[in-house]
Each structure stands twice: as C-alpha cells, then as structure tokens.
Amino acid sequence: MKVAVLLETSLPPSRDLVPTRPLLSQGPPSPAEGGGDALTPRAITLRPGADLDGFRNAARSLVAQGVPPEAVTWSVTDAPGLFGADADHAPAPPLALPKPVAALIPQVIPHRDPERYGLLYALIWRVCHGERHLMEVGSDPLIHRLHRMAKAIGRDLHKMHAFLRFRRAEDSGGEHYVAWFEPDHHILEAAAPFFVSRFRGMRWSILTPDGSAHWDTETLTFGPPGDRAALPEGDGFEAGWQTYYESTFNPARTNLKAMRAEMPKKYWHNMPETAAIPALVRAAAGRTEAMIEREPTLPTRREPARAVAAMADQDPKTLDALNAIIRRTEPLVPGATQAVLGEGPVGATIAFVGEQPGDQEDRQGRPFVGPAGQLLSRAMAEAGIDRGASYLTNAVKHFKFEERGKRRIHQKPTAGEVSHYRWWLDRELEFVAPKLVVALGATAVLALTGKAVPITRARGPFRFERHDNRFQGFITVHPSYLLRLPDEAKEEAYAAFVDDLRRVEALGQELAA
C-alpha cells in the first residue's frame, strides 16, 4: 500500500513550466496566463482529514492562475465538492517541484493545524517563483514550522504502530479483530498500510474518532468515525499478554519518568498490559530488596551431550514433518501469504530448484504455477520430461515483494535470506534423494553451493558438493529470465533452454539406470 504522490517531481522546470510573474507589482495575469484578477479572494474547501488529492488539485489550479497565498482562504467541510464557490474548476497541469518539497507535502497534510494548507501553498508559491532551494534554508520560519509539523506526524505514526492493540471478535464472516485508537493527527490513511503488511492474513478494523480502516485480507477500505463502545471485551490473548508483561517486568529498572516518556498515559486505557503497571510499580521496591538479599546461586550445570541428543531428536524424520515446520514458520521478510512447499514424489529422479515463489505461487501455495512456471512446464514437455514424476521446489520458501498500487512486484532475495532458508533445502533434498538436481538460475546455485557461480560459465553439468549433500547437478537459467528478454531474443533463448532440458532428461536416465 502506498500513499498517493502529491505533486510530480522532475528536473528544474523550464520557463514554460514555472510561472513567469514572480512579483505581484507587475499587475494581474493576462488572459493568456489564466485571465481574471489574481488578487481576487479565493475560497478553497477541502474534505475533512488529510485531503492530499484535493490540495494537490487546488494548488495546481491556483498557481496556474497566478493567485498568491494571501488571496486564498482554506477551509474544510463535509459537504461534497472540492472547491469553494469562488474557485475555478478548470484542471491545471502538474507542477514540477523539487523532490524535498514533494516529499514534505504528504508528511504535513495529516497535521491537525488548520493553517497547514495555507502554509504548504505558501511554500509551493515561493518555490515556483524563484526560491527553488528554499528547503535548504532551515532558518526560514516557514521551513522551520513545516519541518516541526512533519516531525509531529512521524511521532504520531510511531505511537500508533507501537500502542494499537487488536481484540478478537466474531461476526458473520468468522474471526475479526477490532482496535480503537485516538491519534493526535489525521494519520489513519497513512498508518493503515503498516498494519496491512503486519496482519495481512487476518480480517481487522481500526476505529478512531475521525474515521475507520477495514482490511478483509484483500482490500483496504476507509469508512466513517468509529465508536469505542463497539470494541469487544478483552479476550484470552489479552490476558496472556498481560501475564507475559508481568513476568518480564524488571523491578530494579523501574523509572516512571522514562516509562511515561516512551508510553504516554493517554494511550494506557487501550493497552491491556497497562492495567498491571500500578501494582507492579508499588511492589517494585520490595521485590528489588528481596532480589538483593537473596543468596547468590551457581548456575545449574548442563549436560552438553544430553542437550545435543535432545536437539537431534527434534529434527524432522520425514519430508512431511519438515514441511510442517516450514508451514508454521513465519516468513523472514513479512508479507507472504503462506510458505510454498516443494511438489513431487519422494525418490524422483530429477529435482528442479528455483529461486523463490512468485505472486501466483504465493496465492495458490504451489511451486511454478505462475507465468515462469507455465513456461517451464511447456519446455519440460518439449524435452520429454514428465513434470508429475519430477520434484519442483525453491531455494527460498516465501514470496518477497514490493507493493506498487495493487500489484506485488517480485524482489530478489539477498544472500542472507538464501542462507536463512538453506537448511530447509538441504534437508528437503536429503528426503527426496534425487539422482539429478537442476539449479534454475543464480539464486538456486547460491543455495546449493554456498557461493556465487556465474551461470554463463557454469551452464551445463555440475557437481553440487556441500556439507553432507553431494548431488550430480545441472545448471541452467531460470524461466523468468526468458520472460524478461526482448521479443527478438526470446525464441533463440527458449530453444537453448529446451536443449538444456533435453540434456537433463538424458543425464537423468543415465543416472537412474
């Protein structure tokens, strides 16, 4: 989820883009510049809250007409419509603003200060009328005030991320989590994507006095203000969380001033653990004295051999047991819907190892079912390889992506992330015990060898030897590489990929004989 960008940025605008009337003493704009009297008072009416789009459109129109900040009155209303009665509805082209200005505007828009729109328009006006480097002047009163407002929004977002607590409820759709929060500013729309990324798999609602946010595991929507009375009573999770908080409370480090600074009391009534704080504080002195008076004790001696034996006994004994561990493990990079497990029979002659699941694999929970997987299936069929008799898996078991609008764009896993999942891949291949392991792309090679190996030089038969795993292997490109090629190069590259798979099929038959 992303907040819409307010104003497009580019290189410093040409004379055709920047208003050519920096001085009000030059008189009203000509008809070519928008016509009318620029000094005529204008009334701009925006919707309540953080009206980023409304301010953007109004600012464009006002700058295009040459209307200075002192001629504009900004107000907020629930009535439909963007502009007040005195404003011009004519659309205006985007403004080319320096990146620091464009970045600051959405950070200030959620502030409750009724002057925020006027201050931001004054900033835009000055930048468009010759002060392109105004953001670099930290001593300017306008810049100083806007930066303080942006910092207040940042603090408010941090508090909401840290102090919001969900309670479990039941409705017609099943399990539903509800939270109540009272932000200092209009930050709900800016804060909601954080909770989408953290709690993507559960249905939830966040209620505030200004509005509400609702997530149904697929779509984020915003609604009218909520009512704290709609919050369900405390649940079993809250009781468990309070018990955990009490058990981790250190009486020797009690510092009320620091506690109030980090967790202001205004948030306490929505946080279950704070109910225990008064009693914990009252008992802190006595508990500390008891800790001091208690005789020191030597640490319990542990038996290393027994501990090692216990750890070994916890290792999965079958592929199903390993998959159960993978399935219930949280993704290293948050966001994935589910772990995508390997697919195919134990004892398969050929195992294919890819990079990581894609968007469709994450949604369906199966490997190689997206566009790249469909291309792989087609190439396998042409090469005479039975996909159903092969084992297909990935080096990384969770989908790593970046959201752009409604699309989830694949992001390449880092070497550290590949290393994190390597133990699972090693055990998986031990259980499957293929005769031949095919590495599809550089990430698969890194996972199987522990080092970066250039695909162009190593393409073909390869021996994978690392720790206890020793497999006859074959290195080729990942099918997603073929999808990224220009059309004129795809046919030749695809033919080479199919030829690789024919060699894989022949080598697999030779090893199985």
Alpha-carbon distance of 110 to 208, in angstroms, equals 14
159-171 mean pLDDT: 87
Rounded distance between C-alpha atoms, residue 225 and residue 88, angstroms: 31
Q: What is the distance between the alpha carbons of residues 220 and 204, in angstroms, rounded to a whole number?
A: 10
Beta carbons within 8 Å of 2's beta carbon, 6+ residues apart: 193, 403, 404, 405
Residue 328 has pLDDT above 70, yes or no: yes
| Cβ atoms 411, 400 nearer than 8 A | yes
| 144, pLDDT greater than 70 | yes
- What pLDDT is recorded for position 398? 94
Model confidence at 365: pLDDT above 50: yes
Give pLDDT, residue 266: 72
pLDDT at 366 > cutoff 90: yes
User: Distance between alpha carbon 165 and the CA centroid of its chain, in Å?
Assistant: 20
> Token pair 């998986």 is at which residue?
428
Average pLDDT of span 211-231: 91
Residue identified by tokens 């190069």 is 489
What pLDDT, on the 0 to 100 scale, is given for residue 310? 55
Q: Between residues 243 and 60, which one has the greater pLDDT? A: 60
Q: Distance between CA atoms of 324 and 332, rounded to whole angstroms?
A: 17
**Dist. CA 36–CA 495, nearest whole Å:** 67
Token readout for 364 is 């369906």
The pLDDT tens digits of the residues spanning 80-118 come to 444 443 444 467 888 999 999 999 999 999 999 999 999
State how far the alpha carbon of 298 is from the alpha carbons of 295, 301, 302, 308, 362, in Å.
10, 9, 12, 22, 50
In whole angstroms, what is the distance from residue 55 CA to residue 53 CA? 5
pTM above 0.75, yes or no: no
Per-residue burial over 133-171, b = 16 or more CB atoms within 10 Å of its CB, e = otherwise: ebbeeeebeebeebbebbebbeebbebbeebbbbbbbee
DSSP, collapsed to helix, strand or coil, labels residue 418 as helix
Identify each DSSP E strand in 124-237 by its residue range. Answer: 167-171, 174-180, 204-207, 212-215, 220-223
Tell me the sheet residues that pair with 435. Answer: none
Residue 219: pLDDT band with limits 50, 70, 90: very high
Strand order of the β-sheet with 220-223 is: 167-171, 174-180, 204-207, 212-215, 220-223
What's the pLDDT score for residue 203? 93
- DSSP lists the bridge partners of residue 176 as 169
359 or 6, which is more confident? Answer: 359
433 pLDDT higher than 80: yes
Between the CA of residue 457 and those of 384, 415, 442, 460, 476, what are the distances in Å?
A: 26, 20, 12, 9, 10
